[in-house]
Structure 1
Amino acid sequence: MSDNQFKTKKGTFIIPILALLAIWVVYIIEIGFGFNFNKFGIYPNNIIGLRGILFSPFIHADIKHLLNNSVPLFVMLCSLYYFYHKIATKVLVLGTLVLGFLTWFIARPANHIGASGVIYFLVSFIFFSGIFRKYYRLIALSLAVVFLYGSMIWYVLPIEESISWEGHLSGFITGLVFTILFKKVGPQPEIFEFTPNEEFENLFDENGNYIPPEEFQQPED
């Protein structure tokens, strides 16, 4: 795939901005009107708790939780829609559903809320996609992701009681699985094809040794 195909598309910033607005509007409504949306989070192994698969990414416990998720969510969504624009929406929607269901299946009995599961999914997908596709621009993006968010890997482990590490782990695993599923779709490394050049090839013998032109064409007696 040619580098000039990495261009800013209409959705590169629109979707990330809309996603950011959505989580902030939900929080403002919750605080402004005294609501508590935590009950709409993912509650594992409970049928009603399945609704959280759709709602939980938009719900945050407090302003610190919201701020911590806002910047990485925006950065990762912009990266997804810029570098993987042809599959971005499909990856985002399906990935959110799968990681949500996995969280519902494996997590502790509590309301799991926040966009961090989606963030871990995006970080995982973008990192592994760059490595698996072996395309230098995407590998550079993978390295940038490691530099910015590499320390996040520790939070897929149960190191803090109040953090939904199960949601983080679900997002990370889902991102890796989606990398494999979508490996052949989207940007691919550029393949160069060379046309045989007889004149050039005649400058070398069968062992690959160079034959200077004056030796190659001996004058006739």
Structure 2
Amino acid sequence: MVAPAPAPRRSIARVLPAHPVPAALTMLAFTALLYVIEIVDRVTSLGLENDGIISRNLSGLWGILWAPLLHGGWDHLLSNTIPFLVFGFLAMAGGIRQFVGVTALIWLVSGLGVWLIGPDRTSTIGASGVIFGWLVFLLVRGFFARSLAQIGVAVVLLLVWGSVLLGILPGQPNISWQAHLFGALAGLLAAALVARADRSKRPVPLPGL
């Protein structure tokens, strides 16, 4: 009689990336790219901050691709740096392919939300929509996965960064609550889709075996 092989650890139930050093280096490189872009914007006359999302303007749709890479100055970028690094690193726990899919969904949905209901004649830029999406993804995926470890991480994140979720409420000057709100909704959707895909990969034991 051959004992069944142990089931592989579900990717959604991981707390940290399976290969933490490459994951950390990837996020550091991603963050360095944001700083390089900001340096270029500061030392040239390109005016990259004007290439963000311009709501309900067809040419402004291109800004959905670039907006998370652009920032309105060093203070803006610095305020996003730590959560960008931490949330992005933790979101890699399911592997690089899952991370790319989750990030792409958040990136696009957040940007489309800004384009649909953002302020007129304004270029909206910044990585905060993606950051909000990652945060909500990390907060809820443990419940979808029924993972106590992931729920524990969510509790810690909520205690440390929970107050930033107020950014989904309108009324704060120079804050794109639209990007935050749609990024958060995309993070919720991403967690549900990842959990559904994870469940579909689990082996189903045959009766009597």
Task: List runs of 5+ in structure 1 lacking aligned partners.
Answer: 194-221
How far is 1:54 from its partner? 0.7
Question: Which TM-score applies when normalising by structure 2?
Answer: 0.82
Report the CA distance shift for 1:22/1:186 in structure 2 as closer, same or farther (over 3 A): farther
Question: Pairwise mapping of residues 20-31 of structure 1 onto structure 2 (< 5 A)?
Answer: 20-31=31-42
The match for 2:94 among 60, 84, 93 is 84
Corresponding residue for residue 149 of structure 2: 137
Greater helix share, structure number = 2
Q: How many residues are paired up?
A: 190
CA deviations on 1:1-41 (whole Å, 9 max, x unpaired) are 53799522564123311210111000000111233212210
Report the CA distance shift for 1:63/1:136 in structure 2 as closer, same or farther (over 3 A): same
Letter in 2 for 1:137: A
Corresponding residue for residue 203 of structure 1: none
Corresponding residue for residue 147 of structure 1: 159
How far apart in 1 are the matches of 2:172 and 2:71? Answer: 17
* DSSP-derived class of the 2:196 partner: coil
Letter in 1 for 2:117: I
CA deviations on 1:106-125 (whole Å, 9 max, x unpaired) are 21111110000000010011
Question: Is the 8 Å Cα contact of residues 131 and 142 (structure 1) preserved in structure 2?
Answer: no
Are residue 165 (structure 1) and residue 173 (structure 2) matched? no
Mark the structure with the bigger radius of gyration. 1
Question: Is the 8 Å Cα contact of residues 41 and 48 (structure 2) preserved in structure 1?
Answer: yes
How far apart in 1 are the matches of 2:100 and 2:57? Answer: 28
The match for 1:111 among 111, 118, 123 is 123
Task: List runs of 5+ in structure 2 lacking aligned partners.
Answer: 1-7
How far apart in 2 are the matches of 1:115 and 1:165? Answer: 13
* DSSP-derived class of the 1:183 partner: helix
How far is 1:145 from its partner? 1.5
Deviates more, 1:175-184 or 1:150-159: 175-184
Question: Is the 8 Å Cα contact of residues 106 and 129 (structure 2) preserved in structure 1?
Answer: no
How far apart in 1 are the matches of 2:47 and 2:123? Answer: 12
Q: Aligned-pair RMSD on alpha carbons?
A: 2.5
Corresponding residue for residue 3 of structure 2: none
Question: Is the 8 Å Cα contact of residues 61 and 113 (structure 1) preserved in structure 2?
Answer: yes
How far apart in 1 are the matches of 2:64 and 2:141? Answer: 24
